Amino acid sequence: MAQPAGPVTRSERTRSAILAAAEDLFAERGFAATRLEDIAERVGIKRASIVYYFKDKRELYEAVLSSVLGGLHQALTAELSRHEDLGMRIEAAVSVWVDYVGSRPTLARLLLREVANATAEKQSLMLRYTAPFQELVLREFMDRPDRRDVVKVKVDPIHVASIIAGATVFYVAAMPNLVSEAGFDPTTRKHIDPLKEELLRIVRQLLETRGTPT
C-alpha cells in the first residue's frame, strides 16, 4: 500500500511557484523576451532564489516544458488505461487533449511560439519532449492488430493529428484576438465543449469509429 504523501515543504512551494510564473511568462512573452528578474518579481522573490533551483533560464524553460507536456502525457495514459476498444481509445485521446489544453491554455501558446520561432536547436528540444507522444500513438493506435477493423478508410495519421492539434491550439491561443465578442474565453466549458464535440465528429467520420467515451 502506497504511503500518503507528506506535507509540502516551503522549498517545494517556492519551486512550484517559480515554475507556474515561468510557464505564464514564457507563454505570454516567449523565451527570449522573458527575464529571470521578471519571473522572480511575479513570484515575489529575488533572482538569486531562482538560480538556486534552476541554474539558468534554459534549464527553467525545459522544466516548464517537462511539466506541461508531462502532465498531458500522464492524463492521456491514465484515460487510455480505462478503454480497451480502439475506437473508444481514439475518442478518449481526443477528449483528453482538448480538455487539457482548455484547462491549461499556456500549452497552446508555448507550442505556437516554439513552432513560430523554430531553429535546429529548438526543434530538437521540442522533439525531445514530444517523442513520448509519438511513441504512445504508435504503441496504442498504429501498431494494434485490430486497427484495420476500426479504421475503415485510408488516412494519414499526421493529417489527423494536425487537424486535432492545430484546431485546438489555434482556437485557444489565437481566437480570443480574432473574435469580436467581448470577453470571449475559449477555455470555458461553454466554448471548449462544442469544439471537442466537433473534433470528435470529424474523427468519427475520418476513422469511421463509433461511440463516445464516458
> CA–CA separation, 208 vs 201, rounded Å?
10
Q: Is the pLDDT of residue 166 over 90?
A: yes
- Which residue ranges form the domains of the chain, and what is each CATH number? 10-55 (1.10.10.60), 64-207 (1.10.357.10)
pLDDT band at 199 (very low <50, low <70, confident <90, very high): very high
Q: Is the pLDDT of residue 62 over 80?
A: yes
Task: Please report which residue ranges of 104-211 form alpha helices under DSSP H.
Answer: 106-116, 120-137, 147-150, 157-173, 189-207
Return the axis-axis angle of helices 10-29 and 57-80, rounded to nearest 10°.
100
Provide the total of helices (H) and of strands (E) in the chain, helices listed first.
10, 0
- Among 10-19, 119-128, 149-158, name the one with the lowest average pLDDT: 149-158
* Dihedral sign of CA atoms 67, 100, 169, 143 in order: positive
- Report pTM: 0.84
pLDDT digits (tens, 9 = 90+) for 82-128: 988 878 888 999 999 999 999 999 999 999 888 887 776 666 677 78
Residue length of the chain:
214
Q: Is the pLDDT of residue 47 over 90?
A: yes
pLDDT band at 212 (very low <50, low <70, confident <90, very high): very low
Residue 146 φ/ψ, nearest 5 degrees: -90, 10
Cβ pair 91, 199 in contact under 8 A: no
Averaged over 1-18, what is the pLDDT? 79
Residue 110 belongs to what H/E stretch? helix 106-116
Q: Is the pLDDT of residue 5 over 60?
A: no
Share of the chain above pLDDT 70, in %: 84
Quick one: pLDDT at residue 154? 66
